[in-house]
Amino acid sequence: MTKHEQVLKLSRQYAEDTTADLARLVQTRSFGGEEGAVLAEIEKLCRGYGFDEVRYDGLGNLICRVGNGPRSIAIDAHVDTVLVGDESQWTRDPFSGVVEDGWLHGRGSSDQKGGAASMISAGRILKEMKYDGPYSVYFTFTVFEEDCDGMCWRYLIEEEKLVPDFAVSTEPTSCNLYRGQRGRMEMEVFFKGISCHGSAPERGVNASYKAARTILALEQLNEKLPPDEDGFLGKGTIVVSQVQANGPSQCAVPDQARLYIDRRLTWGETKELAVQQVMQAGGDEVDRVEIPQYSNTSWKGTTYGQELYFPTWKIDADHPLVQSGVAAYRGLFDRDPLVDKWTFSTNGVSICGMHKIPLIGFGPGDEDQAHAPNEKLRVADLPIAAAFYAALAYELPQ
């Protein structure tokens, strides 16, 4: 029996356990900053399956390892989830973890505790097969991704000094192989006016009108943003997500206004370019543009933060890591995977975008389930993903 056949056999043998593990993770709430309980469940599972190392870093990320090779690969899942939202839109308890008709239901099932459950089983497979290859295989269960994608990995790389040779994100890809994503950034645009009594608006300068004219200019800018040269990631976008105006009273011309902007960045677009484009669109109407800072205190009590800029990243289709992923998939399933990219943002913005560590994506679940009411995950994806992560360890460049 080949290594791939052994991996596939074990992934199917452990499939029910993987589903049960995911149900337990979904049933354990883990909003940003409150991940300690779900990480304790994962820690217990990894210790029970005999992982070679299980520990926490200073921020509260859980780092588990199988193997002792001189090179390293990190397989990553964030374990925080977004909030439930309007619970009346859910047809089941958002934390039920119930399985019906081949789907496991609940908040975080696809985004992205399914990846975490498959990682746990992949480590179990490697331990069962007594993996002793040239790679230390790290399984990282990370925090705060939903609030500030990549910040957890900035901590791992810059503070913990965990710098793997390669990495895999297990965000949902419908079990396809991904090799890039657009970046993103957030911006605040400020406007100044001159207040006066609302009965005589001609005496003042209305900051909200300045903001309104800029909003229309930004709408036009969004239509004009060009795609990347090779058409892989697609065009960048700009969206005004919040509008605010303030003055001395409800009967006064507002002297302050603010726009909050979500900017998606394609290949070749930088934060400097994006800020310049907003300034040009608003012209003399704009007072200033700022990139906000994010800071929060983790479940472990550590405060950490960064600028809300998340670089675009991709690796070439012929990169050795992509080719290793194709080989692992082909060896398991006797066909080539679809190679594509994410629409949304992941921890890859730090791993590959900031720190240039080659990264691919492969995860159970569908991207359109992320942040949606009635979130669910196809149970059949779980053993596929577990097998892929384990098989990849045998296909990496020697």
Q: Are strands 288-290 and 293-297 parallel, antiparallel or unpaired?
A: unpaired
> Does 145 qualify as catalytic in the annotation?
yes
Question: How far apart are the C-alpha atoms of 157 and 176, rounded to whole Å?
Answer: 27
Question: How far apart are the C-alpha atoms of 273 and 281, rounded to whole Å?
Answer: 12
Of 145, 255, 381, 395, which is the active-site residue?
A: 145
> Does 93 qualify as catalytic in the annotation?
no
185: left (phi over 0), alpha (psi -120 to 50) or beta: beta
Residues in the chain: 398
Of 35, 76, 80, 285, which is the active-site residue?
A: 80
Instruction: Spell out where the chain has E strands.
Output: 53-56, 62-66, 71-78, 99-100, 103-105, 135-142, 166-169, 177-181, 183-192, 237-246, 256-265, 288-290, 293-297, 303-307, 309-310, 313-314, 339-342, 359-361, 376-378
| Residue 255 DSSP SS3 | coil
Q: Are strands 256-265 and 288-290 parallel, antiparallel or unpaired?
A: unpaired
Residue listed under structure tokens 């040779």:
165
As separate numbers, helices (DSSP H) first and strands (DSSP E) second, the chain gives 10, 19
Q: Which residues are catalytic?
A: 80, 145
